[in-house]
Homo-oligomer: A and B are copies of this chain.
């Protein structure tokens, strides 16, 4: 299987690092980044308030922080329109768009295995051996 080969190979060529995917995980899967990228991807270019409305329970402060981080990492593009009132638009960059297959893969795994996780949790919690 290609997947296994790639995984093993990466680890083999990087003996120093316990987990070669750690950097990517920090970039793509740190808190709030997934909903933000997802929203930008599915609804296209949009303004700050639209993002805030669509992403449940996120505060403007945290939204700003994460947007800045994603912009710095090159995953999204921020466009400032010097008008009154000011208008700012965010959109996914080309680099951000390259994550689409990965996210699709994730959604696929979720659809196939999430209930299995749920069952495992029930088993664990109801097992009297604990």
Contacts and interface: CB of A to CB of B under 8 A. Distances in A.
Interface of A: 1-8, 10-11, 18-25, 27, 29, 34-35, 38-39, 41-42, 54-56, 71-75, 95, 98-114, 116-117, 119-121, 123-125
A73 to B, nearest CB: 5
Given A98-B109, A117-B74, A39 B18 contact: yes
B105 A101 contact: yes
A115 to B, nearest CB: 11
A117 B73 contact: yes
B38 A121 contact: no
A106 B102 contact: yes
Contacts of A105: 3, 101-102, 105
Contacts of A112: 98
B103 A21 contact: yes
A10 B107 contact: yes
A71 B129 CA distance: 14
A4 B98 contact: no
Given A4-B100, A18-B54, A102-B105, 14 more contacts: A10-B111, A18-B35, A20-B110, A22-B34, A22-B35, A24-B107, A24-B109, A72-B124, A74-B120, A95-B113, A95-B116, A98-B109, A98-B113, A102-B109
